[in-house]
Amino acid sequence: MGKTTGFLEYPRVESDQRLPEDRIKDWNEIRMPQDQNVLRTQGARCMNCGVPFCQSGVMLNGMTSGCPLHNLIPEFNDLVYKGQWKEAYQRLIRTNPFPEFTARVCPAPCEGACTVGYLWEPVTIKNIEYEIIEKAFAEGWVRPAKAKATGYKVAVVGSGPAGLAAAHYLNAVGHDVTIFERDDRPGGLLMYGIPNIKLDKSIIARRIELMQAAGIKFVLNTEIGTDLPARDLAANFDAVILCTGAGKARRLQVEGHDLKGVYLALEFLRSNTKSLLDGNEYDSINISARDKNVIVIGGGDTGTDCVATAIRQHCKSIHQFEIQPEPPDRRIKYSNPWPEWPRKQKVDYGQEEAISISGKDPRHYLLSTKKIEGDDQGRVQAVYTVDVNWFKNSAGILEPVEVPGSEKRWPADLVLLALGFAGPEEKLLEELQLKDDKRNVLAEYEIFETSAEKVFAAGDMRRGQSLIAWAIQEGKLAAREVDKFLTGNSTIK
C-alpha cells in the first residue's frame, strides 16, 4: 500500500492548527485544511506491512490498540496516494458511518498501532480520514441511505455516537427508526460534551439532516422513564436499543465538594455550548470562568476541553491537577511496547493555549486534593492539595502515598471535576429491571441483548466509558443483532 519506500522517504507532516494567540479569541475549530499534495505523500508513507495492526481494534493491557471500527486504513491511504478520492471515501464508509466525527475527536488508536510507528513516526491516518470525508461532503458524494421498508419499528434511546450508528444501519436495511433524546438538540456528548473548538456543531447538524432525509425520526426533549414510560416504549416498538451512555459522573468525595462554584466538567462544558448555540452573550453563560481562578481536577480530553473553554471565557488563572505521575516523553518499550496505545506525554490544544498566555503548562502532577474551602456565603475560595508518590502495597498494587509537609493552598473561584464516569444513570435501568454488573448494563458483546425482552443495549452504558470509535462500532453491531432478531438474518457487517 502506498509507495513502496514512502515511509523511508517522507517525514510525518500533521495538519496545521491556527495559532493559539489567535484561536483563543473565538470558538471556531482550530484545525486548518491540509494541501492535497501533502496528503498524497502522507498516504504514500503507509507501508505494505502484511498485517495491518492499525485496523485491528483489540484490547492490549487494558487499552485499545488499532481501530475498533476495523477501518480499511491501508486501502484508503493507498487510494489517497493515487489521487482516487471518491474510491477512498467509498472504502472509508464501508466500516465507518461518521468519519467526520472520528476524524475530529477520536484519539486515533490506529496511529498508536501503525507499523511505521514501531521505528519512526506513524502515518497521519486521522488527518487523511478528515480530508477524505470533508472532500466527500464538498463534492456531494455523501447522500441519504434509504432502503425498501420492512414494516418493523425500532426505538433508539439516546442520540450519541452509539445511538446514531444504530439508527443509521437499521434505517439502511429498511426498518422504521425513531431516536428519543432528552436534550433539546441531538448528538449526545458530541453536542454538549465536546466544545465547538474540536467539533463545530454545524458538523453534527449536517449529519442529522442527512439522517432525517433518509427517514430517521428524532424526538427531542423527551426523557425515557420520565416524560415517556420505558415500558410503553417497549410495548409500542418491535425492538428497543438503549444507548444512553455512562452519564453518572465520578464526584470528588472530600470536604467542600458541594460548595457553590464546584461543578462537574460536563455541566460546565454543556453550559458554555448551549449558551453559544442559543445566541446568548457570554455574560449570560450559566457557569462562567470570567475573571476567576479556575482549577480543573482531572486530566484526559475532558480536562483539556475545560482548560480551553475557561481560557476563552477570560479566566483569571488556570491550573489542572492530576494524581498520576507525568507520562514520559516517549514510549517505554519494556513496559508499553508497540502496538499498545503509547502512554507518553503530549501538549494538547488546551495546554498549548495556556502556555501561550502564561508561559507555563497548567498541569500539576502527583497531586491529591484533600479539601475544598468555602467562604461565609458557601462559595469555593481555595483548594488544598498534598503531593503523592506511588508505591506498591503488600498486595503488589500501586497506591498513592502522601509526602509529609507538602500541603499547599490554591486560590480558587471555580473548580471543575473531570474525573470520568462511573456508569449509566440508574432510573431507566430500574424501570426496565435490567440486570447489571453493579456498574454497567449486562448485555454480551456482539449479542447486546439485555435481560428485558426485545431490549438491547450498546455503547458506554454497556461497556463503560470508552472511545467514540467503540461507541459507533457497538451501535453498528447492535443494529445487526436487532435486524437478526426481527428478520432472522442481517446484511449488516
Give CA–CA dist 33/17, Å, rounded: 9
The cell numbers describing 172, all together, are 439502511
Distance CA(95)–CA(471), nearest Å, equals 13
Would you kindly state where each structural domain of the chain is located, as residue ranges?
6-139, 153-248+422-487, 262-417
Q: How confident is the model at residue 283 (pLDDT cuts 50, 70, 90)?
A: low
Q: How confident is the model at residue 3 (pLDDT cuts 50, 70, 90)?
A: confident
Lowest mean per-residue pLDDT among 236-240, 248-252, 282-286 = 282-286
Query: What are 446-477's pLDDT values in tens digits?
Result: 999 999 999 999 999 999 999 999 999 999 99
Whether 282 has a pLDDT exceeding 80, the answer reads: no
6-139 CATH choice from 3.30.2180.10, 1.10.1060.10, 3.40.30.10, 1.10.3720.10: 1.10.1060.10
- Percentage above 70 pLDDT, the chain: 98
Local confidence band at 1 (pLDDT 50, 70, 90 cut-offs): low
Give 164-231 as a DSSP string: HHHHHHHHHTT-EEEEE-SSSSS-THHHHTS-TTTS-HHHHHHHHHHHHHTT-EEE-S--BTTTB-HH
Side-chain half-sphere of 17: how many Cα atoms within 13 Å? Answer: 18
Question: Which cell is 449 given?
Answer: 441483548
Give me the mean pLDDT over the 12-41 stretch.
Answer: 94
| Mean pLDDT, range 229-236, rounded to an integer | 92
pLDDT at 146: 82
Check pLDDT > 60 for residue 281.
no
How high is the pLDDT of residue 48?
Answer: 79
Alpha-carbon distance of 323 to 79, in angstroms, equals 44
In this predicted structure, what is the pLDDT of residue 438? Answer: 85
* pLDDT greater than 80 at residue 326: yes
Find the mean pLDDT for residues 103-121.
Answer: 95
- Report the chain's mean pLDDT, rounded to a whole number: 95
> Would you tell me which CATH number, out of the four given (3.50.50.60, 1.10.1200.10, 3.30.70.580, 3.40.50.300), belongs to the domain 153-248+422-487?
3.50.50.60
Ordered alpha helix ranges (H), 219-313: 230-236, 265-277, 300-312
Mean pLDDT value of segment 225-236: 92
Identify the pLDDT of residue 422: 87
pLDDT at 408 over 70: yes
**Multiple choice CATH, 262-417, 3.50.50.60, 3.40.50.300, 3.10.20.30, 3.90.950.10:** 3.50.50.60
Over residues 427-447, the mean pLDDT reads 92
Coil vs helix vs strand at 348: coil
Question: What is this structure's pTM?
Answer: 0.96
pLDDT in tens, 49-100: 889 999 999 999 999 999 999 999 999 999 999 999 999 999 999 999 999 9
Q: What is the average per-residue pLDDT within 117-144?
A: 96
Distance CA 74, CA 66 (A): 12
The CA distance from 363 to 307, in Å, is 10
